Structure 1
Amino acid sequence: MAFVSRYSHDIIPTHMHDSSDLTGAERITKSMDVSVENFRFVVQRTPDTGWQIAKLAHADIFVLAFAISGVAHYDVGDTSFDVTQGDIVWFPPGVVHSAYSDSTNPWSFCSVGFQLRDHTGTSTGQLINLPHRLRLPNFYRFAALLEELVHEWTSKRLAYMVRCRAIVEEILFIMIRATDQNEQRQSVPHVFAIHKVTQLIEQQPQKTFAVSDLAKRVNLSESYFRRLFKQITGYTPVQYQHWVKVNLAKDLLLSGQCNVSEAAFQLGFDNVYYFSRLFKRVAGISPSVYLEK
């Protein structure tokens, strides 16, 4: 059976980082220390060909958006750029920007607006220097974090603000680390090898690959492959396979075309109880509860 993920490898952005997207990374210092506070909004939007903003600027909040799918076109000053699936869009306070959805492939996205408390006196100034668009290798990690953020914000369960702050601070941490030029130079030589492996996992989610087999496929030692995979994707090879399976299971369940047992079978699980335990460990809830939501 052929599988098509909502995170299809055909539109996942390359794991290579455009050096133009890392301008100002050298200004980030090890002493940076900020905390998130005063959320203004958390919004998830579905594709809309009519979506657009004109010369928008927020006076006192940082805005972060994550492209779930599709394409948007942005203008910031004299600079224009396209945003595609997996991209992060970052605007500090006061940055005037305009944007519109692509007419044939409109984007869907999640955005969050918040203030930051600066604990060093210089940290927010450094964050202002981050690029407005970041292309990061941690697509599944970001997708999972933003999905949880939207869920916590909309459900407003006990201590939801604590978790929302933690999620956004984790996202900021990943963004800052990813713009460290020395780390990126170290990972670039084998980025395409890891991308080849992630494509294989995404294309054949019904299989479970041994880490040793994946390492052999790209001619790397198993120990080095494990370290490199975690550095580039944010997951261990086993965790990444679990995330892919569970995200596809969510799609299968929500499609209404199969029940929990059938979804487990299509994803290569012989034991539905093991599948349910794995689903709960990754998603935080059982597949049956996920369906009820």
Structure 2
Amino acid sequence: MIETDLQFPKQRQAPFRDWSPSIHYAQYQRMPKGPLAERRIYDFELLYVCQGEAVTIMQGKEYKLTTGQLIFLPSGVWHRNEVLTEPDARFLGIHFDFFDELDIQRESDIISDGDEVEWERFATEAVCDSFPPLSHQPVYTPTLDCVQLMDQLVHEFTMRPLGYELACKAIMLNILTHLLRLPVSRARSYSSQHAQKLKEIIEQIEQHPSTPWSNKMIADQMKLSIDHTAKLFKEIAGLPPNEFIHTIRHREARRLLRETDMSIERIGEQVGYSGIHYFSRLFRRHEGISATEYRKLSKVL
């Protein structure tokens, strides 16, 4: 079989009960400004832009990505990514397949070598009658709920607690559901006259978690009552303002523990908690282990 005989991505009509995604890679990463090498992958990737701007050239089209957007990169399709912002951009990448059909032992197994292509290994995209294929329109702006699920997936894949494979499969199915439903949910979520302003505030919270955010501060920016603002906030973000702020701070704290050598006290300050004891208590409540133990485990695994 030669390349010109194949159509990528390969697709398979399958009921939802047959969808069984396996996760091959789930990590945050920074990439410096500039183009990356053209490539194609044996599995599928969700590449989410946490901070910065990027562009993907794929099948003769250019897809511009800004903070808060992701692109669905299909199996077998040549593409080239380029970071546009100085000095770098931050991403969350998830590699997976739909039917648990690939055996990936190391990251190098994901990339198709141009000289030694194993055509039968290219994974198959699951499609159904209810939604268009994810590859039909590859750029998405996921909901905040979906972004939190992606972060949860990275956490499970990194820490690998007992039963993490099952947890990753369940979380990935939930992520795929969010993306498939996105056109409908977007129309519903942002119909309010205040929703765009609130969405901008939510993005500010994600980008600047150390700001002393409060219900009153958010309500003042919205020029609405505290109770009405909190109700709108929960409708869009899925959590009340205080819970959402804590979630974002905790997510950033986990990232800093994994990716930096900053002290525990400095990390607490960086994410918005002035006292190390308060931060340590909150972290243990969320994770069941101390921040120091979390850092040690993440380095080992």
Q: CA deviation at 1:147?
A: 4.0
Does 1:167 pair with 2:171? yes
5+ residue gaps, structure 2, are 1-14, 101-124
| Aligned-CA RMSD value | 3.8
Matched AA of 1:126: P
Question: Does residue 99 of the first structure (1) align with residue 100 of the second (2)?
Answer: no
Q: Pick one of 174, 187, 198 that aligns with 1:193.
A: 198
Q: Partners of 1:290 and 1:226 in 2: how far apart?
A: 32
Count of paired positions: 252
Q: CA deviation at 1:70?
A: 4.1
Matched position secondary structure for 1:37 = coil
Matches within 5 A, 1:38-187: 38-39=21-22, 41-44=24-27, 45-47=29-31, 49=34, 51-54=36-39, 56=40, 62-91=44-73, 96-102=77-83, 104-107=86-89, 108-116=91-99, 122-123=129-130, 126-128=132-134, 131-138=137-144, 142=147, 144-180=148-184, 182-187=187-192
Give 1:43 shift: 4.7
Q: CA deviation at 1:148?
A: 3.7
Deviation at 1:204, TM superposition (A): 6.6
d(CA) in 2 for partners of 1:93 and 1:248? Answer: 31
CA contact (8 A) 1:35 1:169 kept: no
**Structure 2 counterpart of 1:127, which letter?**
P
Return the alpha-carbon distance in structure 2 between the equivalents of residues 265 and 105 of structure 1: 24
Alpha carbons 2:209, 2:245 under 8 Å: kept = no
Secondary structure of 1:243's counterpart equals: helix
Distance 2:180 2:192 in 1: 16
Match of 1:233 among 233, 237, 250: 237
1: CA distance, partners of 2:23 / 2:255: 30
Question: 1-side partners of 2:41 and 2:244: how far apart?
Answer: 37
Q: Report the TM-score, using the length of structure 1 for normalisation.
A: 0.67
Farther off after superposition, 43-52 or 223-232: 43-52
Q: Report the more deviating stretch, 244-253 or 107-116.
A: 244-253
- Structure 1 residues 225-234 or 147-156, which shifts more? 147-156
Cα distance in 2 for residues equivalent to 1:77 and 1:265: 45
Amino acid at match of 2:212: K
Counterpart of 2:263?
Answer: 258
Three-state SS of the structure 2 residue aligned to 1:63 is strand
Which whole-Å deviations, capped at 9, do the CAs of 1:47-75 have from their partners, x for residues lacking one? 15463334x375xx543222344443222
**Separation of aligned partners in 2, 1:38 and 1:204:** 32
- What's the CA shift for 1:164? 0.5
Partner of 2:290: 286
Distance 1:246 1:155, change over 3 A: closer
Work out the CA distance in 1 between the residues paired with 2:279 and 2:44.
Answer: 40
Secondary structure at the residue paired with 1:80?
Answer: strand
AA matched with 1:51: L
Q: Which amino acid aligns with 2:98?
A: Q
For 2:96, what is the secondary structure of its paired residue?
A: strand
* TM-score (ref. length: structure 2): 0.65
Q: Comparing both chains, which one has the higher relative contact order based on Cα–Cα distances under 8 Å and sequence gaps of 6 or more? A: 1
Please say if residues 202 and 244 of structure 1, whose CA atoms lie closer than 8 Å, have aligned partners that are also in contact: no
Tell me if structure 2 keeps the 8 A contact 1:74–1:97.
no
